[in-house]
Structure 1
Amino acid sequence: MSKLIYAANVSLDGYLEDETGAFDWSIPDEAVHAFWNDHERHIGTSLYGRRMYETMRVWEDDDWLADEPPVVREYADIWRDTDKIVYSTTLTDAPTARTTIERQFDPEAVRHLKQTSDRDLSIGGVGIATEAFRHGLVDECVLLICPVIVGGGKPALPRGVRLGLELLDTQRFDNGVISAHHAVAPQ
């Protein structure tokens, strides 16, 4: 059985993006990018909300990658080789390969996917992740805590959900980012 992993870059005060929707403060340096490459390499399917998918689909295009470092180009290859399920009521088709659009989040379908997948799954976008947390589907959290306080914005973790966590691993990067990898304790 595979695991469902919630992974995100977050500010020290717990936000994915600031009050204006910006997340430029979380752009990874080469070492952090390599961390994400290693993490994503083990993912077989990524579950996205529409907004997160629209942010991530830039990795489908080669136009802007020519002058990027190898670690960035490698991430594009990893992203393209991953199946994607996008939960959206507004998207009619997916402009990226290996992508399926679902109209609504179905916890039982995700539970079945976890049981039948031979590789782990990731979930991105706090709206859709909140649903997964509420249904007891998230097995692990990988948060890269950025050395910045943004003062408000979109919370990285769901409100109104209380879960115990078990620390699995931490790592400190030279740019001040800290990774915290937790397992969700059984309820």
Structure 2
Amino acid sequence: MGRLVYTVIASLDGYVADADGGFDWAMPPLDVHAAANAQQREIGTMLLGRRMYDVLVAWEHMPVDGAPEVIREYAELWRATDKVVYSATLDRATSARTRVVRAFDPEAVRELLQASAADVSVGGPTLAANALRAGLVDEIGLFLSPVIVGGGTPALPAGIRLDLELVDERRYSGGVVYLAYRPRRGG
């Protein structure tokens, strides 16, 4: 059985994109990229919201010859991973190993997790909010960038309470800090 993991790069004040939709401040240093690659190696299926898919699908055909090894590796990992894109408007996926699903169904995700030999990731804060509200997320990982953007798209949803247990913490170059939490289940 796989776990559902939500990992995100966020500003120190908790946003994945600033008020203008920009996230250039979130470009990870190579050691952060290597850590993200290590996590991605454990993922069998990626659940993606439409906007996250639109950003990440560039890896499908991105020329990476001559790029650092971690960049080349991520392109390979992206291409080798199954993907489910949740979108009411996307007609078809433009990447291999990808299917489009019209609406988030917690029971279908539970079934996917039960049948999965590998972990499953959820990408995009709106989709992750749905999974968090449904009690499906087994781990939340935050790569916190040393920047305050003052508003934008929050990494975590409002209106939800989860008691968490810290299970990992790491420091990276450029002042990036990684924190991983698991929701405390039951009383």
- Do they fold alike, i.e. is TM over 0.5? yes
Deviations along 1:36-57, one digit per CA (max 9) or x if unpaired, are 0001000000000100000000
List 4+ stretches of structure 1 deviating above 2 A: none
**Structure-1 residue corresponding to 2:52:** 52
What SS does structure 2 have at the residue aligned with 1:33? Answer: helix
Structure 1 residue 180 corresponds to structure 2 residue 167: no
**Aligned partners of 1:94, 1:47: CA distance in 2, in Å?**
13
**Structure-2 residue corresponding to 1:117:** 116
**Aligned partners of 1:81, 1:185: CA distance in 2, in Å?**
32
Which amino acid is 1:55 matched to?
Answer: V
Which amino acid is 1:34 matched to?
Answer: A
**Structure-2 residue corresponding to 1:43:** 43
- Counterpart contact for 2:170–2:179, Cα < 8 Å: yes
Q: CA deviation at 1:29?
A: 1.1
Counterparts of residues 70-89 of structure 1 (less than 5 Å): 70-89=69-88
Structure 1 residue 33 corresponds to structure 2 residue 42: no
Which amino acid is 1:46 matched to?
Answer: M
Structure 1 residue 162 corresponds to structure 2 residue 161: yes
**Aligned partners of 2:112, 2:48: CA distance in 1, in Å?**
15
What SS does structure 1 have at the residue aligned with 2:117? Answer: coil
**Aligned partners of 1:56, 1:174: CA distance in 2, in Å?**
23
Q: CA deviation at 1:164?
A: 0.7
**Structure-2 residue corresponding to 1:142:** 141
**Structure-1 residue corresponding to 2:107:** 108
Q: CA deviation at 1:67?
A: 3.3
**Aligned partners of 1:62, 1:23: CA distance in 2, in Å?**
19
**Structure-1 residue corresponding to 2:5:** 5
**Aligned partners of 2:16, 2:175: CA distance in 1, in Å?**
17
Q: CA deviation at 1:185?
A: 1.1
Q: CA deviation at 1:66?
A: 2.2
TM-score, length-normalised on structure 1? 0.97
- Counterpart contact for 2:138–2:183, Cα < 8 Å: yes
What SS does structure 2 have at the residue aligned with 1:137? Answer: coil
Superposed CA RMSD in Å reads: 0.8
Q: CA deviation at 1:130?
A: 0.7
Q: Give the stretch that moved more between structures: 47-56 or 67-76.
A: 67-76
Q: CA deviation at 1:68?
A: 1.6
**Aligned partners of 1:95, 1:174: CA distance in 2, in Å?**
34
Which amino acid is 1:142 matched to?
Answer: G
